[in-house]
Amino acid sequence: MIQERFYVQKVWFGLIILWSFVRIATAELYFAKYGINIWIFAVIEIVSSPILARASSRMAVALKYHEIRQSIVWGGLTMLSFSAPDVYLLTAGRGLPWIAYGIVLLLMTVAGTASVIKLKQKVSLQASLDCGGD
């Protein structure tokens, strides 16, 4: 079981790192012409990606074992590391088309909302289990 979890975490880490390079290439292709310094974006992306990988996997484990406080901590770190490159894009870009703002904000909102809903479901489940045990 521990071996399987370790393997899944390594695969997840690899996928997030791979995704970060896709995001950097996409930013270079679409956003560099709007004043985005691709090197600053790449540094933010490369620094935040391992944090995102670790925090999101720890959040998933905490949720699985109904460790609500830990899942909140790791969830907050997940959201910060997930949104850091996007915040840079939105604040550093000059003359970005409105659709770019809309897409980035929509992605951030959908991911954040999904996380909050999942966390709320886990909290409700834990509360019902605690009440049932008394």
Distance CA 53, CA 100 (A): 25
Average pLDDT score over the chain: 84
C-beta separation of 123 from 58 below 8 A: no
- The predicted pLDDT at position 6 comes to 76
Predicted confidence at residue 129, as pLDDT, reads 64
Q: Which residue has the higher pLDDT, 131 or 56?
A: 56
First to last CA, the chain: 31
Percentage of the chain beyond pLDDT 70 is: 84
d(CA 45, CA 23): 8
Q: What's the average model confidence in pLDDT over 68-92?
A: 90
| Predicted model pTM | 0.75
Predicted confidence band of residue 115 (pLDDT cuts 50, 70, 90): low
